[in-house]
Amino acid sequence: MSTDPEHPSLHVVEETVDPASWEELGIDNAAIGAWDAIGFSPFEAALAHGDGYTPMMAVHDRRQLQKAARPWVQRGLDTLEGLHWHRAGFGVKEAMRWRTRGVDVKTARDRRPGYEPGRSRHKKRS
């Protein structure tokens, strides 16, 4: 909290959470406060949420989940684009290699060895 210089008796509450970045990464407005309260950034929360975690569950695996997000954050890919790379199954180093070649997520996935559009990489059980 700070004081408005033009009105010293008026206190200004500084917003520490940018809801736009949370929403951009797919975090529901109702959950933003809970993720923030347990110390997750918007990107960390999006990764955890994408892996099926709720804030109540994530608090128990906080270190592990934040460790998984760290390489993405360190390379500046704690963005919606980074989330797309992660959800497409790419590691941060592999995503960076594709990006330096000017290749987007969809194209990289299509070019990735062993990937055939419309076909699962897992064998069907008989």
In a domain, 122, yes or no: no
* Cα-to-chain-centroid distance, residue 25: 6
In a domain, 123, yes or no: no
* H/E run at residue 83: helix 80-87
pTM of the model: 0.71
pLDDT tens per residue, range 24-74: 999 999 999 999 999 999 999 999 999 999 999 999 999 999 999 999 999
> If DSSP codes are grouped into helix, strand and coil, which group holds residue 7?
strand
In a domain, 60, yes or no: yes
In a domain, 105, yes or no: yes
Neighbours of 29 (CB within 10 A): 9
pLDDT confidence of 116, banded at 50, 70, 90? low
In a domain, 53, yes or no: yes
In a domain, 119, yes or no: no
CA distance 2 to 45: 28
Our count of domains for the chain comes to 1
- The residues that bridge with 2 in the sheet, in sequence order, are 12
Q: What is the span of the domain harbouring residue 80?
A: 11-111
In a domain, 26, yes or no: yes
